[in-house]
Amino acid sequence: MRIQPAIIFLFVLAFALEASAQAPVRVLASNGVKAVLQELLQKNEKSIGHPSVDIGTSSVVKQRILAGESFDVAILTSEVIDDLIKAGKLAAGSREDVARVGIGVGVRRGTAKPDIKTPEAIKATLLHAKSITYAEDGASRPHIEKMMEGLGIASEMKAKTVLVQGADNANKAVTDGKVEMVITLISEILPVSELELVGPLPRQFQSYVSFAAAVNPSSKNQDAGKALIKVVTNPAAAPIYRAKGMETKEIRAQ
């Protein structure tokens, strides 16, 4: 029996649609939200499938998106998300605020915690430190260097600062014992078992980095992408953000 071409086409179309529906949502995200996403998405796999998450610094991911990389959802610093919306790489109507996080100091677990509670204390600690590190391409870098300038120790700190690419490498430099302390987003310190959070920067120098999410207007998986953003911004997820050192609008309202 000869099968009609129209019937073959319908079978192929149905198969293609099913494969598309099962395709995992591809997420490009900042290292600042890495720990939250790992836990949050794992707990919601039934509702959002098995998303593919690619982590990097917001500045690097931005360049990859501008260069035309394929993805469905971006979860990056709010500033980068807004820039990508202006560039037409993200859909403005899909944008949602996610959370914010402050900057802190981390040391290798088991070592003495220095005093960083006041501007005078953190100045003395930094000047006494043999070495420090932070991500050269990280969102917290401008705030860290502004603090150094405010403390009047920018020139003294240059010789003992080890700049690396990415917060993971900065943390590793400390856990390996190559560098004494790391200054980065609190959400990048807390999940590392070999690190211990000394504390946040003093209030006078604390800055917050905010994150937002949006979908790629060219994505063929936009509905799934929007569903993922709903999971990430659900008020019920606030305890997970809090545990990773981040603040949602619900937490700030408490």
Could you read off the pLDDT of 136-184 as tens digits, one per residue?
Answer: 999 999 999 999 999 999 999 999 999 999 999 999 999 999 999 999 9
**Looking at the structure, do residues 107 and 193 belong to the same domain, yes or no?**
yes
| CATH code assigned at 166 | 3.40.190.10
Do residues 141 and 134 make contact, with C-beta atoms less than 8 angstroms apart?
Answer: yes
The residue-averaged pLDDT of 3-29 equals: 53
**Looking at the structure, do residues 135 and 175 belong to the same domain, yes or no?**
yes
**Looking at the structure, do residues 29 and 123 belong to the same domain, yes or no?**
no
Instruction: State how many domains the chain has.
Output: 2
Domain hosting residue 140, numbered range: 101-205
Predicted TM-score (pTM) of this structure: 0.87
pLDDT number for residue 22: 54
**Looking at the structure, do residues 148 and 70 belong to the same domain, yes or no?**
no
The residue-averaged pLDDT of 34-41 equals: 94
**Looking at the structure, do residues 60 and 71 belong to the same domain, yes or no?**
yes
**Looking at the structure, do residues 164 and 240 belong to the same domain, yes or no?**
no
For residue 9, pLDDT beyond 60: no
**Looking at the structure, do residues 237 and 157 belong to the same domain, yes or no?**
no
Nearest CA to 141 out of 108, 98, 185 is that of 185
- Main-chain phi, psi angles of 23, to 5 degrees: -65, 130
**Looking at the structure, do residues 146 and 65 belong to the same domain, yes or no?**
no
**Looking at the structure, do residues 126 and 108 belong to the same domain, yes or no?**
yes
Q: Where are the beta strands (DSSP E) in the chain?
A: 26-30, 52-56, 73-77, 96-108, 132-135, 161-164, 181-185, 195-200, 208-215, 246-247
Strands 26-30 and 52-56: parallel
Domain boundary among 166, 182, 205: 205
**Looking at the structure, do residues 47 and 165 belong to the same domain, yes or no?**
no
Nearest CA to 97 out of 227, 208, 214, 219 is that of 214
**Looking at the structure, do residues 25 and 48 belong to the same domain, yes or no?**
yes
